[in-house]
Amino acid sequence: MNPRGVAWTIGILAAFFGASMLLPALVAWHYDTEHLREFLAAGLIVSAIGFIMMRLAGGAPESLSHRDGFLIVALAWVVLSVLGAVPFWTTGTAATVMDALFESASGLTTTGATVFSGLDKMPASILFWRSMEEWLGGMGIIVLAVAIMPLLGIGGMQLFRAEAPGPVKDKLTARVAETGKILWYMYLAMTCVVAVVYWLLGMSGFDAINHAMCTISIGGFSTHDASMGYFDSLWIRLAAVCFMFMAGINFTLHFAALRRGLSANVLRTYFTDDEFRTYFKWIIVLVAIVGLPTLLTAKGSWDEVLFNTVAVATTTGFAVSDYSQWPVVTSLLLFATMFVGACAGSTGGGMKIVRVLLLFRQGMREVRRLIHPHAVVTVKLGGTKVTGSVVEALWGFFVLYIVCFMMIAVLVAASGVDMLTALAAAAACITNTGPGFGGVGPAENYAALPDFAKAVLMFGMVLGRLEIFTFFVLLVPEFWRK
């Protein structure tokens, strides 16, 4: 363990995070709205905290062990969630400190659960900072840090692995800094494209940029209380569906497609990927199953079904209508869908398609083994065998995920909310979706929950974003022993 190295790394992250608060200040100045001074002050304070930490730590770490990697990533997410709350608190936007913390953690983890209402009348600077937190958290602040700070090159892979989602973590290029750069370039490029498309389809410039950031990061914050429902345009909805779907694809696959160039092969690149094929079919089947009872009971139109289903399935958390009012069967289905989530290596949350797929195949393997007791049956992904240790890790992950979800739900229920709300809130936060059902449905928000529930849910969001293990190892006493 290298406490100075950990402190220094967190310090430099905080310093950069503080500097990024100048952007909402710029927005405040440009739109001539409130809070220019608050954002400048918050940026200064946060940067100063970062610099002090770096100073006290003495200097860049020479090497980081894999334990340091876990500690840095987990601490970074907690510390930056706290520091990101500073503007919400100092501007007086959040009623309590807990609200500010909740909003910030929800943003950074791309959950999109909000305690704010009256968004339409909120100053541009605050709205922009919410979106920006989601955008920074989407591809991962650590990945960004690894990309722009070669200093972290030594332990870069440790950090990268502790943050990147998915069961198997692969580098796109030989050097981890290069991989980080490519990921962020793609992320930035996609965000720009989305913003332009939204703008062309009729959003205002400010809305387009905010919604682009929240779409590509699969976050789900909006600049309006009615979320995407504010825009009464079929084309915007369809575009958003496409973009959410794209952001839910593994970025490694985007990279592979990009490298092949823009030929007819691009689609083939996507469709030869096992996880993508499953993701694609999964979304189509889901829309059909959700659509049938909803359209039959005339509770929603087909474009609402499409949009809301994709928004929940990718764990984005946008909404165009209140899907918690739909038939119970669809609610339950959407509830289960959150857990599956998007593809590994995307900006989405949940357990990830590939994990569910592999667990399913592992289950089928056991069935086949019962039929043919002597058969050699392997679990395959994309034609290659998945090694035993990966499958074992999957089971471990699955069990811990469910246990964490149940514990969070129980603790939330203990604070005095009803069962549906407790379960939905726990699920929506641990899968980083945002809106749930019952008291935290798309039409409601998290403001009414007791402070204790909010604190537990914040913990759940970070736990879900870091895919349990990275955070969980810190809770085991063995981690701290020499």
Partner 1 sequence: MNVLILGAGEVGFSIAQRLASENCNVVVVDRDPQLLKKVADCMDVKTVCGHASLPSVLEQANAANADLLIAATTNDEVNMMACQVAHSLFKVPTKLARVRETEYVKHAKLCGRDDLPIDLIISPETEAAKAIIKRFQVSAAADAQDFADGRISLVGLRIPPKSALAGISLKETTEAMNDIPVMVVAHEHNQNWRVPSGDAVLLAGDTIYVAMAKAHTDMFMDTAGLHCEEHASRHVMLVGGGHVGYIVAQQLEALNVSLKMIEFNAERAEWLAEHLENATVIHGDAMDRQLLEEENVGEMDDFLALTNDDETNILASLIAKKYKVPHIVTLVNRAIYTDLIAQIGLDITVSPRLTTVSSVLSHIRKGRILGMSSLGDGSIEVLEAEALETSDILDTPLRELDLPAETVVGAILRDGEVVIPDGDTRVQAHDLVLMVTRSSSVMATEKLFEVHLEFF
CB of 180 to partner 1, least distance (A): 11
In this structure, are residues 314 and 248 in contact, taking their beta carbons and an 8 Å threshold? yes
CB of 265 to partner 1, least distance (A): 15
Residues 395-428: b if buried by 16+ CB within 10 A, e if exposed: eebbeebeebbebbbebbbebebeebbbbbbbbb
Task: Name the residue nearer to partner 1 (CB basis): 257 or 462.
Answer: 257
Which residues partner with 380 through β-bridges? 385
In whole angstroms, what is the distance from residue 287 CA to residue 309 CA?
Answer: 6
Task: Name the residue nearer to partner 1 (CB basis): 150 or 202.
Answer: 150
In whole angstroms, what is the distance from residue 118 CA to residue 99 CA?
Answer: 15
Task: Name the residue nearer to partner 1 (CB basis): 65 or 301.
Answer: 65
| Contacts by residues 392-399 (CB-CB < 8 Å, ≥ 24 positions apart) | 393/167, 394/167, 394/355, 394/358, 394/359, 394/362, 395/359, 395/362, 397/167, 397/351, 397/355, 397/467, 397/468, 397/469, 398/351, 398/355, 398/359
Sign of CA dihedral 163, 168, 172, 176: positive
CB of 171 to partner 1, least distance (A): 5
> What is the contact surface with partner 1 in residues (CB under 8 A)?
66, 153-154, 156-157, 171, 173-178, 387
Task: Name the residue nearer to partner 1 (CB basis): 178 or 303.
Answer: 178
CB of 268 to partner 1, least distance (A): 16
Task: Name the residue nearer to partner 1 (CB basis): 166 or 348.
Answer: 166
In this structure, are residues 148 and 123 in contact, taking their beta carbons and an 8 Å threshold? no
Cα angle vertex 90, ends 452, 415, to 5°? Answer: 10
CB of 10 to partner 1, least distance (A): 21
In whole angstroms, what is the distance from residue 480 CA to residue 468 CA?
Answer: 18
Task: Name the residue nearer to partner 1 (CB basis): 392 or 418.
Answer: 392
Task: Name the residue nearer to partner 1 (CB basis): 180 or 317.
Answer: 180
CB of 72 to partner 1, least distance (A): 16
CB of 383 to partner 1, least distance (A): 12
